[in-house]
Structure 1
Amino acid sequence: MNILKYVPILDTLKNYDKRDFRFDLIAALTVAVVALPQTMAYAMIAGVHPAYGLYSGIVLTIIASSFGSSHQLATGPTNAISLLIAAYMVPFVGQDNFFANLFLLTFLVGAIQFLMGVLRLGSLVNYVSHAVIVGFTAGAGIIIAMGQLNNLMGIKLPQGHLSSIDKVVACFQNIDKMNYVAFGIGLFTIAIILICRRINKNLPGALLGVIFSVILVMVLGLEKYGVKVVGKIPQAVPPFSMPNFNPSAIADLGTGALVIAIIGLVEAVSISKAIASKTLQKIDPNQEFIGQGMANMGGAFLSSIAGSGSFTRSAITYQNGGRTRLSGVLVGFIILLVLIFFAPFARYIPNASLAGVIMVVAYSMIDKKALVKVLKTNRNDAVVLLVTMLTTIFAPELEQAIYAGVAISLILYLKDSGVASVKTLAPVRASDGRFVEQTINGESPSIAIFQLEGNLYFGSASDLEKKLTDNYSDSQVFLIRFKGVSVIDITALEVIEAFINRALGGNKRVMMSGVTPKIYKMLEKMHIVDHVGKDNIFMEDDEVFATSGKALDEASSFVRNVSYSSQERAVQA
C-alpha cells in the first residue's frame, strides 16, 4: 500500500480501466504534436540546442506523470523556466563544463523540490501571490519575444552575452543586415499558427508551421540564402549525462536552483489545482512536489534541462479527454519514437520558424484577462503585478523580479494588517429588548463600547493605541468587546492595559465581554483581571451577543446607581 501511495503510476496501472486507454492515447497524441515544436523552442530560449528540449520532453514527462499527483499535468520544458535557466547559465557560456553545470542545475532544482515534498512544505507556494505570477509571466513573455527578434529577422548579433533589451537595440542598429528570406519564413510560421487557431483551436498550428517551413527549406534550398537551420539532432534515446557535482559549482548555482524550483512548483501546483477544479480530483501538493523533484533529478542524468508543468499542454490533455496519468507517460514515449525515426528531417527546421513559434508563445504568456482583472480589482495586487512585470523586464537578474514581487506583497500586507479594527458604539435597546449597535455621534454616551476585531499584534498596536486614545470620552463605563479577535499579542495587550489604567484612574468602570479562554489566560497573566475585577469580565458565550448583553445589563445597572447616588447627594446638599 505504501509503494502504491508513493509511486502513483503503480496504483493507476493496478486499477486501470481499459475503457480509458482510448481517451488517454488520443490526448497523448494531441499533446505530443504540440510538444514537439514547443520543447525545441523552449530549449532555444534556455540557450541550448533544440535536441535537449526533446530529451526533456521525453524524460521529465514520463517521470513526473509517474510520481506526481495530478492525472492531467503535463511536465516538461516551459517558457518561464527556460528563461530562468538561460539567465543563470550565462557565467558558464563557452566553458568546457557548460553542459555538466547545466545538468547540475537541473539536478539541484529537482533535489530542492523533492526535499520540500518530503518535508511536506506544499503550502509554501501559497506565499507567492497570484499577482506575482501574472506579472512575472507577462514580463517573461515580453523579454522572450525581445530575445528572439534577431532569430526572427535573421540578424547575426555580436559575440558575448546580451540582455534582451541589448538584443533589440542591436537588431535595429543592424536592420540593414536583416535576412528577408528568414524573416519571411518566421512570418509564414506565425501566419500558419494563427490561421489554424482561426479554423480550429485543436489544429496543431505550431507543428504544421514548422513542417511546412522544413519542406520549403528542403525543396527550395533556402540554406544557400543564409537561412540558419537547427542542424543535426541525434537519432537516439536521451543520452546519459553526468552533472558537475563540484562544491563551487553547487554554490554558484544554488540560488538560481532555489528560484527555479519555487517558480516551477508554483506553476505545477497552480495548473494542477485549476484542472482539478473541473475534474474534481483531489490534489496532494506534497506529492506533486515529489513528482516534479523526481523528474528533474532523473532528467539531470539523461541530458534534460529543468522543467515544470505546462499550462498549454496540461489544458490540451484535459480538453482532449485524458483521464489518467498514463496519458503523460504515453506523451513521452511518442516523442521518443519521433526522435528515433524522424530526427534526420528535424535538422532542416529553420531557426526563424522556431522563433515564430516562440513569438506566438510569448504573446500567449501575457494573460490579458488576468492582467485586467488584477489591475481593476485590487490596488495592492495591481502594484505588485506592475512592480514584478517591470522588474522582470528591466532588472539585470530575473530572480530579482520574484524577490521584488514577494517583498512588495508582504509590505502591502503588513501595511494593511497594521490597521487595528476598532468600532466605537453606544448600546441602544430595540423594541424587543435586544441591544442594537449604533455608532457614536456627537455627545458621549454613559456607556461606550469599544469593539475590537481581527488580528491585534505588535504591527497594529500603534494604530490601536491611537484609536483608543482618540475615542476616550466622558462616558461612565467603557465596555471593551473582543468580538472576532482571532489573534492578540502582549504588545496589543499592553496598549489595552494602559487604556484601562487611565480609565480606572479617572474613576470610570471598565468591563470586558466576548473574552475567550485563551485571551482570559493572557489577561490573567498580565494581572489585567485583577485590575478590572473578575465580576467585570464576561466570557465568550455560545449564544451570539449573549455575553455583551449580560455586560450591558450590568453596565446599565451601574450607571443608574451612579446617577441615583449623584441625585441623592445633590438633594442633601
Structure 2
Amino acid sequence: MSWLSALTGQRRVSDRYAMPKPTWQQKVQHYAPIFRWLPNYSVQRDLKFDIVAGITVAMMLIPQEVSLSTIMHVPAHHGLYTAATAPLVYAIFGSSTVLSVASGSEVSLLVGTTIEDIEDQDERVATGIMIAFLSGCILLLVRILNLSQIADFFSRPVMGGFISAGGLLIMLSQVSNALGIKFKSQDYPPATVYQIFNHIGDTNLNAFAVAAVSIVYLIAVKMIKRRFFPSPVLMQLFDSDSPLKEKGKPEEEERFIQPPTNAGHGFSLTDQQYTAYHAQNTPQEERESLADAGKDGVTVEQPKSKGVLLAIFLMRTLCDL
C-alpha cells in the first residue's frame, strides 16, 4: 500500500515506534468484553448487587416487552423471548453498565407498521424474525467497521426530535385501541387522525373507561412515588448500618461522580458522562421533591434501617409496574 501512503502524504511508521500488535487474547476481550471482567468477578462482593439489578430489570422489562409486542402485532410470548435473549447476548458482547438493552418503542413501531398488513399470524411472525435477523447483521457489520462513532455527529436536538416523534406516533397508534374502534391502518399521521374523528361515534364506552382509569392511575402512582417514596441508596442494604461508613470512602465516590474529561458534543454518552450527569441532576430533583413536600407541611425523613430501605425499594418498583 505504498501508493496509498504516497497519495495521502503519510509515511510508514517505523517498527521501532509502532504500537505493539494486540495478542489474540486482547482481540477476544475487545470483541467479547465478558472475558475481560469475568475472571475478576467476585461472588461475595458483586453477586448481591447483580441479584438486585436482575430483579429490578426483570420486573420492568417483562411488562415492557409484552406491551411492545402488541405494537408489533405479534403474540405476547415473543416479547418474553426478547426480554430473555437480548440481555444475555449483550452481557457477552457489551460492557456498558448503564445501557438498557431491550426492544425500543421506535423499533417496535417500525416493525409493526411493516408487518401489520400480513393476515397470517405465522407468516407475520416469520417476517418479523427475518427483519430482526437482517437488522442484526447490519448492526454487526457496523460494529466490525467501527462506524458507531457516526452517532456523535447527530446533534441532541435532532435525536431528541426523532425520539419525541416516535413517542407521538405510538400514542396516536394506540388511540384506536383506547376508544375501541377499528379502521384500516393509514400511512400518514394526518390520515390516522381523520379516521379517528370519522369513527369516533363508534366508540366502545367500556374500552374508553378502562383506558381513562388506567391513565389516571398511572399519573397518580407516579405522583405518589415521587412524593412518598424517595429513591433509596441500595448499597446501604448490603453495607453496615452506620451511615457514617457510607461516606468513609470518598475516593470510590469520586471515581463515579467526577466530571467527564472528554465532553461529547453529539448524542451518545460514555458511561462516565452519564454517571456524572446523573450525579449532578439527581440530588437537585430530590431537593425539589423535598421542598414540595415541605410546603405542604409534610416532614420527610431519610430512612436509616435496611428494612425501611428495602420496603421503599419494593414500593417504588411496584409503583413502576
For Structure 1 versus Structure 2, the TM-score category normalised by the shorter chain is 0.5 to 0.7
User: Given that residues 8 and 68 in structure 1 are in contact (C-alpha distance below 8 angstroms), is that contact kept between their aligned partners in structure 2?
Assistant: yes
Offset at 1:275?
4.2
Distance 1:56 1:122 in 2: 23
Where 2:101 maps in the other structure, the secondary structure is: strand
User: Aligned partners of 2:73 and 2:172: how far apart in 1?
Assistant: 14
What residue number does 2:137 align with? 111
Alpha-carbon distance between aligned partners in 1 of 2:99 and 2:166, rounded to the nearest angstrom: 22
Mapping 1:214-229, distance limit 5 Å: none
| Structure 2 counterpart of 1:121 | 147
| Cα 1:107–1:170 shift into 2, 3 Å | same
Q: Secondary structure at the match of 1:97?
A: helix
Match of 1:136 among 148, 156, 162: 162
Q: CA deviation at 1:150?
A: 0.9
Amino acid at match of 1:89: I
From 196, 218, 221, the counterpart of 1:193: 218
**2:169 pairs with 1:169:** no
Corresponding position of 1:77:
103
User: Equivalents in 1 of 2:37, 2:47: separation in Å?
Assistant: 12
Larger Rg: 1
Amino acid at match of 1:176: G
In the alignment, residue 196 of structure 1 is paired with which amino acid?
V
Residues 160-199 of structure 1: CA distance to partner in whole angstroms, max 9, x if unpaired?
Answer: 5564433332232222321222222222222222222112
Alignment match, 1:22:
48
Displacement of 1:74 in angstroms is 1.7
The alpha-carbon distance between structure 1 residues 57 and 202, as it changes in their structure 2 partners (threshold 3 A), is farther
Could you give the per-residue CA deviations for residues 102-127 of structure 1, whole angstroms, max 9, x where no partner exists? 11111111111111111122222223
2:273 maps to 277
Percent identity of paired positions between Structure 1 and Structure 2: 27
Please give the root-mean-square deviation of Cα atoms over the aligned residues, in Å. 3.0
Aligned partners of 2:99, 2:133: CA distance in 1, in Å? 21
| Alignment of structure 1 residues 88-487 onto 2, 5 Å | 88-89=114-115, 93-94=118-119, 97-155=123-181, 157-159=182-184, 163-201=188-226, 273=269, 275-279=271-275
Calculate the TM-score normalised by the size of structure 2: 0.59
Partner Cα separation in structure 1 for residue 87 and residue 267 of structure 2: 17
Deviations 1:381-402 (A, max 9, x none): xxxxxxxxxxxxxxxxxxxxxx
Mapped to 1, the partners of 2:53 and 2:227 lie a distance apart of 11
Q: Distance in 1 between matches of 2:169 and 2:126?
A: 27
Counterpart Cα distance in 2 of 1:139 and 1:160: 18
Pairwise CA distance, 1:52: 2.0
Report the CA distance shift for 1:121/1:11 in structure 2 as closer, same or farther (over 3 A).
Answer: same
Q: Cα deviations across residues 396-427 of structure 1 (Å, max 9, x unaligned)?
A: xxxxxxxxxxxxxxxxxxxxxxxxxxxxxxxx
1:126-158 C-alpha deviation (Å, 9 max, x unpaired): 233322211111111111111100111122x13
Distance 1:276 1:203 in 2: 30
Q: Which amino acid aligns with 1:7?
A: A
Partner residue of 2:90? 64
Say how many residue pairs are matched.
215
Contact 1:65 1:73 in 2 (8 A): no
Which structure shows the higher strand fraction?
Answer: 1
- Indicate conservation of the 8 Å contact 1:147/1:168, yes or no: no
- Separation in 2 of the partners of 1:122 and 1:158? 40
Alpha-carbon deviation of 1:274? 5.3
Q: Structure 1's 169 and 154: CA in aligned 2 closer, same or farther, altered over 3 A?
A: same
Higher RCO, 1 or 2 (CA under 8 Å, sep at least 6)? 1
Q: SS of 1:185's equivalent? A: helix
Distance in 2 (CA, whole Å) between partners of 1:130 and 1:66 is 29
Secondary structure at the aligned position of 1:149 is classed as helix
Match of 1:45 in 2: 71
Q: 1:9 maps to which residue?
A: 34
- Given that 1:149 and 1:168 are in contact with CA atoms closer than 8 Å, whether structure 2 keeps it comes out as no
TM-score where L is the length of structure 1: 0.34
Please list the CA deviations of residues 272-300 of structure 1 after superposition, one character each: whole Å capped at 9, or x if unmatched: x25431447xxxxxxxxxxxxxxxxxxxx
1:22, 1:196 → 2: CA distance?
Answer: 28
CA contact (8 A) 2:115 2:128 kept: yes
Partner of 2:212: helix, strand, or coil?
Answer: helix
Distance 1:145 1:53, change over 3 A: same
Report the CA distance between 1:5 and its aligned residue.
Answer: 3.3
The 5 Å alignment of 1:512-531 reads none
Bigger CA drift: 182-191 or 103-112? 182-191
2:65–2:80 CA contact under 8 A, matched in 1:
yes
